[in-house]
Structures are given as structure tokens and as C-alpha cells.
């Protein structure tokens, strides 16, 4: 049996934990750049505020109902998440951290006990220790546990816990779940399925297996088997190594000059290098992209992207920044109004792997030396001790393109300075 523990309205709940006066009040959290609504408390949902709505489109509604609005504070959410996960890890023998606000627990060893009781205990414990409300779904497969969780969330009479065990319980849960609400079925496949009169999860579970295999491929076939109670998705206890790392942002204002883009791209490249070192990986390829607004109607849209091989697999900020600057120069077009840029590192090589390919022309591309490694270690150590951004490369600079964050809450769990600023 698998349990899926999912935090309720996670980002909104994190903000509310430190603002108890906002309990029972509508709260929303905005995406980066204060662009879209990405989290809503139950009260905000009740006002009809939709997920993903641009903030400017519901500004009046937010104001009218005195909704508390927050910029996203990922330092806070990340830290709150690790508290919740650490706790869950103590409450079950095996845990798979599936996302920032979700975890699967292996409940196999609890099946002789009352699962619903134990899930209730988990809920109370997490709430008491972290302040975060969670819902729990338990079932014989991960996909069914997702469905159980959804039922627990949508129906208050379940008190946050739903266990699907018998065939009857499972089938009736499938009948009341729409096909687009199944984990792994997105918009495109829903459309296709509905056109075939496959409307509920029960329809999907009993649909023609060859047809599913043909049109939804192996992924769809697996979902069908999971709905029928055959577990295809195992617990993943260790997170697989990342295959790519991306840092990208929309700009707080329009950017047109190469110099400004260089600052932004250098900053993203630097962040990618830090993430690489954290992941203990070397990248062998680098992609840079720059883009105008996708909503631009002037006919002057542009999406420029280019990928290049790095001379050596590396995690060195300086090498990555240099390569990124060269790529940027190649895709930059004058006269465009840029709104977004990003850097992606890929082609990962494990740092311990000895099979690093050396350059064909070493005299042109000197092999990275020990000094570079030591320098990066020193930079990381200083930033760890004195706070993010205490030292950085000179070309990293967020002055001109900085995303707007007008409603940012303090980092109360990760920054001493922010705690001192809390009014008593």
C-alpha cells in the first residue's frame, strides 16, 4: 500500500503559518515577477480566483475582498518543505519525496493496523510540528493513492484521509473521478479520451487495452494497469541525478541592449554553476535562450536559442559564464524588446566518473586546474556563511532586469536578519 501525503495549498499555508491572523482569510501567492496566481487558500478559491490567472486580471477582485497577496518566497517554501519531509521520514519506513509539497510513503508494513487511524496520526503530527495542513490518500498503487488523496481533499467529511482498499471502494472512487483528474492524463489526452466517450477513471480502467497502448503509448498503458490495481510505479527512494539544470527569469521590465542581456545571462549562468556544484555534477553542454514577450502583438517576436558543447565537462562558474556570453552574442538581435532569458546546462557527467573526454586541442582550451576548483569552493563557502550573493563574479548583476517582488514576506526560517525584522 502507498500513501500520498500532499500539503494543502502549500505556498499559501507556508505564508499563513507565520501570520496566524490570516487563518480563515483569503490568501494568494504570486509567481515570480508577481505575474500569475500560483497558490490560493480555500477562502481565495471560494472567491472564484482561478489557478494561473494573471494578477492584473483579478486585481479588482483581490482588492474588493481584501485578499492577502504574497510574492513567492522560495527560500521559505523550500525550508518548510524539508521540515515536513523530515518529519514524514520519521513516521514511515520509506519515503519518496515527489515534489516540494508531496511525498509517497510505503505503508506495506502497516497493513495489519488501521491505516486510516495511522494516517490521522500523521496529519496531526505534521500540523502540530510544522503548522502545515496535509491530506493523505492510501491505496494499492501510486495512481490510486493520488485519486484517494484528491477525494480526501475535496470532501471535508473525510477529515483529510481516504483509504481505498477493497474492489468496491476502488471502483466507486474511479466512477467519481473524471478522466482529466487522473495523474498522468493531461489536456491533450483528456480531449482524445472524451471524444472516445471515455469520461471517468472507471471508463479508462475498463477501456480497450490495445487502443490505450496504441494512442497513449506505454505511459497510458501503465496508468491503466495502475488504476486496475496492478502497481507499475515503484517507490523511488533516492532522487536520480539531474540530467539538466535550468535557470531562467522573466524581466521586471523590457530589456533591449546586449549589455543588459549579458548581465542577466551571466547571472543565470552563475546560478546554474552553483546548482551544478551542489549536485556534484559536471555539464558538457550549455544552452542560452532569449525571448520577447509571447503576448507581443507587434509582429516583432523572437525566440533565440543555441546550444554549444563546453570545451570540457565543467562546473566552474567562470568557464560557464564565458561560454554563455559567446552563445548570447551569437543569438542576440538588435531592435527586439526582450522579456525573458535563461541558461540550461546539460550532458551531465558525474564528478567521480574518470572517463572525462579531453579536448582535441588542449593548447587552445586549457584543462581546468586545481586553482579554479579551489576558487569555486571558496566562493561557495563564503556565500554559505555570509549569505547568498555575498561574493559573486563581477559580470553577474541583477540591477537592470530584476524581477519585481512587491509583496515578499521575510525569510523567517532561513535568515537571521529577517527574524530580527519581525515586529513584536
Partner DNA sequence: TCTGGGGTCCTAGGACCC
Report the C-alpha gap between 44 and 61 in whole angstroms: 10
Alpha carbon distance 146, 211 (integer Å): 24
SS3 category, 37: strand
Chosen residue from 219, 375, 382, 390 binding DNA by CB under 7 A: 219
Pick the binder of DNA from 246, 318, 331, 408 (CB under 7 A).
Answer: 246
Work out which of 68, 248, 314, 409 binds DNA, going by CB under 7 A: 248
In the complex with DNA, the residue whose CB is nearer, 54 or 133, is: 54
DSSP letter assigned to residue 295: T
What is the rounded end-to-end Cα distance, in angstroms, of the chain? 47
**Cell numbers placing 100:** 516540494
Q: Is residue 256 close enough to count as binding DNA by CB under 7 A?
A: no
Rank residues 77 and 110 by Cβ distance to DNA and give the closer one: 77
Site string for DNA, 86-125 (x = CB under 7 A): ------------xxxxx-----------------------
User: Which of 243, 298, 357, 417 is in the footprint of DNA by CB under 7 A?
Assistant: 243
Residues near DNA (CB under 7 A), total: 45
Phi then psi dihedrals of residue 67, to 5 deg: -75, 135
Decide if 322 contacts 384 (C-beta within 8 A). Answer: no
288-327 mask for DNA (x: CB under 7 A)? -----x-x--------------------------------
β-pair type (161-163, 134-139): parallel
Which grid coordinates belong to 314? Answer: 565543467
Binding marks (x or -) toward DNA, 392..421, rule CB under 7 A? -----------x------------------
Q: Is 108 helix (H, G, I), strand (E, B) or coil?
A: helix
Contact yes or no for 394/325 (Cβ under 8 A) = no
| Shortest reach from residue 212's CB to DNA, in Å | 12
Residues contacting 181, CB < 8 A, separation 6+: 147, 150, 201
Residues near DNA (CB under 7 A):
31-33, 35-36, 38, 52, 54, 56, 98-102, 146, 183-190, 217-219, 240, 242-250, 254, 275, 293, 295, 339-340, 342, 344, 403
Amino acid at each position: 500500500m502507498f500513501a500520498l501525503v500532499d500539503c494543502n495549498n502549500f505556498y499559501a499555508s507556508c505564508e499563513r503559518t507565520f501570520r496566524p491572523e490570516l487563518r480563515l482569510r483569503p490568501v494568494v501567492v504570486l509567481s515570480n515577477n508577481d505575474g500569475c496566481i500560483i497558490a490560493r487558500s480555500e477562502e481565495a478559491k471560494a472567491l472564484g480566483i482561478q489557478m494561473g490567472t494573471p494578477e492584473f486580471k483579478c486585481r479588482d477582485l483581490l482588492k474588493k475582498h481584501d485578499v492577502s497577496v504574497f510574492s513567492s518566497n522560495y527560500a521559505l517554501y523550500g525550508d518548510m518543505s524539508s521540515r515536513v519531509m523530515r518529519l514524514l521520514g520519521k513516521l514511515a519506513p520509506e519515503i519518496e519525496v515527489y515534489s516540494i509539497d508531496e511525498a509517497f510513503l510505503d505503508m506495506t508494513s502497516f497493513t495489519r493496523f488501521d491505516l486510516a487511524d495511522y494516517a490521522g496520526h500523521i496529519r496531526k503530527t505534521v500540523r502540530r510540528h510544522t503548522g502545515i495542513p496535509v491530506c493523505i490518500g492510501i491505496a494499492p498503487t501510486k495512481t490510486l493513492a493520488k485519486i484517494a488523496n484528491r477525494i480526501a481533499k475535496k470532501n471535508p467529511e473525510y477529515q483529510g484521509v481516504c483509504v481505498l482498499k477493497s474492489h468496491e471502494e476502488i471502483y466507486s472512487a474511479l466512477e467519481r473521478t473524471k478522466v482529466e483528474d487522473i495523474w498522468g492524463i493531461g489536456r491533450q489526452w483528456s480531449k482524445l479520451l472524451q471524444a472516445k466517450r471515455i469520461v471517468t477513471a472507471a471508463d479508462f480502467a475498463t477501456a480497450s487495452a490495445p487502443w490505450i497502448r496504441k494512442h497513449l503509448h506505454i505511459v497510458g498503458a501503465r496508468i491503466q494497469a495502475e488504476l486496475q490495481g496492478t502497481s507499475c510505479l515503484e517507490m523511488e527512494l533516492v532522487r536520480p541525478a539531474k540530467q539538466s539544470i535550468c535557470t531562467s527569469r522573466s524581466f521586471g521590465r523590457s530589456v533591449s541592449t546586449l549589455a543588459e542581456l549579458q548581465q542577466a545571462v551571466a547571472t543565470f549562468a552563475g546560478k546554474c554553476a552553483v546548482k551544478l556544484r551542489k549536485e556534484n555534477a559536471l555539464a558538457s553542454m550549455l544552452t542560452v535562450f532569449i525571448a520577447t514577450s509571447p503576448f507581443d502583438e507587434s509582429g516583432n517576436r523572437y525566440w533565440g536559442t543555441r546550444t554549444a558543447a563546453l570545451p570540457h565537462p565543467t562546473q566552474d562558474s567562470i568557464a560557464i559564464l564565458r561560454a554563455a556570453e559567446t552563445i548570447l552574442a551569437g543569438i542576440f538581435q538588435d531592435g527586439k524588446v526582450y522579456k525573458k532569458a535563461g541558461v540550461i546546462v546539460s550532458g551531465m557527467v558525474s564528478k567521480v566518473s574518470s572517463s572525462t573526454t579531453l579536448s582535441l586541442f588542449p593548447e587552445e582550451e586549457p584543462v581546468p586546474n586545481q586553482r579554479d576548483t579551489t576558487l569555486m569552493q571558496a566562493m561557495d563557502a563564503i556565500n554559505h556563511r555570509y549569505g547568498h550573493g555575498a561574493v559573486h563574479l563581477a559580470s553577474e548583476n541583477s540591477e537592470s532586469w530584476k524581477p519585481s517582488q512587491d509583496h515578499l514576506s521575510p525569510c523567517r526560517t532561513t535568515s537571521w536578519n529577517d527574524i530580527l525584522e519581525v515586529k513584536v
